[in-house]
Structure 1
Amino acid sequence: MTAILLIDDHSLFRAGIAMVLANGIPQVQILEAASLEQALGLQQISPALILLDVQLHGMNGLEGISLLRQKWPPTRVVMVSAYDMPDRIEQARERGAVGFISKTAQPERLLLSVKDLLPHFSTSNDSVMMSPRGQVAYQLALTPRQQEVLNLLGEGLSNKMIGRRLHLSEHTVRGHVQATLGVLAVSSRAEAVFVARRKGLIL
């Protein structure tokens, strides 16, 4: 059974997220820890995904990323925060986190982001690609579908047009767009395109 580990010192948030994930993703085991120290002490588990709060009592999330990846090398670590902190998010990515999820995201958007990051939902393990300038550009947590959506955003298409192109409902496209904005740590479509071009993710 796929396991997801939630590391957050707010018990109400953990309970809420655990309920959303358990109801939205079949056959998933939700594990919880109130601190990094508690998480690192867990034995006989191998989570596929770790949702890690940026701001924790004791050792904070940024400091713990490398330790978590040492303990569980195949595991994907995603930073979670109620605040949009581009500098922290960038630091987290540099230390090995694959993306960022906002605590303020709607439940369906959070579910979509988590599903995209789970191995049996995602079809690609590639996290690196080459930019047009020949430099290495990190896709972070972008899934193949999110990359398609990002490419079409770069063409200036609306959600309705993206849906027609990808044979998806407009509602589904909206969810993918919001998840993509979260991964890129931006708040608008225009900013997403600007950041993606700067990072070499799209032409």
Structure 2
Amino acid sequence: MSPTRFLLIDDHTLFRSGIAMVLTAGLKDIEIFEAASIAEALRTPTDTLDLLLLDVQLQGLNGLEGIALLKRKWPEAKIVVVSALYDPEAVREALERGAHRFISKAQTPDAMLETITALLDDHSAAPEGTSSASAVRSAKLTPRQCEVLDLLCQGLSNKMIGRRLNLSENTIRGHVQAILAALQVSSRSEAAFMSRRLGLIG
């Protein structure tokens, strides 16, 4: 059985090294390639990749602009967009271009590894527009949770969502935790990314 192949695309060597250590410690039988730019990534000496971790902010061609080129070279690979900042517009654009997940650099190594492992195990995972109906049905949210999710995706804090819906911050926190569980994600940014991918919000 061939190893699971990763390509880490980030112009910060230290971040690439850190992610490589997390992957090596948490997964078995893997092969890791690294690149500091889209141009360098496209010269990676392999015809098959399982997953690409792609930083949004790159020198030269940025991560979002490079998605199409990467998908053309490795059409079967799953693409995870990585960013230090959560930008709803960047998330929307990444989805439209075919990314599968969003990971914040602020996440813990365990949470990042959990997201990557779940994506590798999910053979039905698909970019925006090709999500299965079962994936949408699996996210069973109440009408109130849908309201919270919509405001969360607008970047509002729990306190601000509570004021908007006339609910306590503690109640909102409970709704957010339920939303994360329903969407099988570990952070607010991932919840926003996944809900757009599943068509749960506009």
Q: Tell me the TM-score normalised to structure 2 length.
A: 0.69
Confirm or deny: 8 A CA contact 2:47 2:74 kept in the other structure.
no
3-state SS of 2:45 partner: coil
- List per-residue Cα deviations over 1:84-142 (Å, max 9, x = no partner): 01101111111111121111111111001111221xx22424556xxxxxxxx6649xx
Change (3 A) 1:78 1:50: same
Aligned equivalent of 2:32, options 30, 37, 46: 30
How well do the aligned residues superpose, as a CA RMSD in angstroms?
3.5
Q: How does 1:95-110 map to 2 (within 5 A)?
A: 95-110=97-112
What residue number does 2:17 align with? 15
Instruction: Write the letter of the residue equivalent to 1:18.
Output: A
Aligned to 1:132: none
What's the counterpart of residue 79 of structure 1?
81
Alpha-carbon distance in 2 for matches of 1:12, 1:65: 23
Deviating above 3 A after TM superposition, structure 1's stretches of 4 or more consecutive aligned residues are 125-128, 137-140, 152-156, 173-177
Gaps of 5+ in 2: 146-173
Q: Percent identity?
A: 38
Q: Within 2, Cα distance between the matches of 1:138 and 1:179?
A: 23
One-letter identity of the residue aligned with 1:51: L
Q: Which amino acid aligns with 2:34?
A: E
8 Å CA contact retained: 1:3, 1:29:
yes
Change (3 A) 1:112 1:152: farther
Q: Does 1:151 align with 2:140?
A: yes
The 2-side partners of 1:17 and 1:174 are apart by: 27
Change (3 A) 1:25 1:122: same
Specify every segment of 5 or more residues in structure 1 that has no aligned partner in the other structure, as ranges: 129-136, 163-172, 187-191
TM-score under structure 1 normalisation?
Answer: 0.69
Task: State the distance in 1 between where 2:84 and 2:5 align.
Answer: 23
Q: Is the 8 A contact 2:98 2:127 kept in 1?
A: no
Instruction: Name the residue aligned to 1:184.
Output: 192
Q: What's the CA shift for 1:197?
A: 3.6
Q: What is the CA deviation profile of residues 142-179 of structure 1, one whole-angstrom value per residue up to 9, with x for unaligned ones? A: x95x974x4257786x69x97xxxxxxxxxx5994425
Q: CA deviation at 1:2?
A: 0.7
More helix by share: 2
Pick closer, same or farther for the CA change 1:10–1:112 going to 2, 3 Å: same
Judging changes above 3 Å, is the alpha-carbon distance between structure 1 residues 179 and 27 closer, same or farther for their aligned structure 2 residues? farther
Q: Give the equivalent residue in structure 1 for 2:49.
A: 47
- The one-character-per-residue Cα deviations of 1:44-101 (angstroms, maximum 9, x if unpaired) are 3411110100000111111110000111111111110000011011111111111211
User: Residue in 2 aligned with 1:170?
Assistant: none
Is the alpha carbon distance of 1:65 and 1:155 closer, same or farther for their aligned partners in structure 2, counting shifts above 3 Å? same
CA distance change for structure 1 residues 44 and 126 in 2, over 3 Å: closer, same or farther? closer
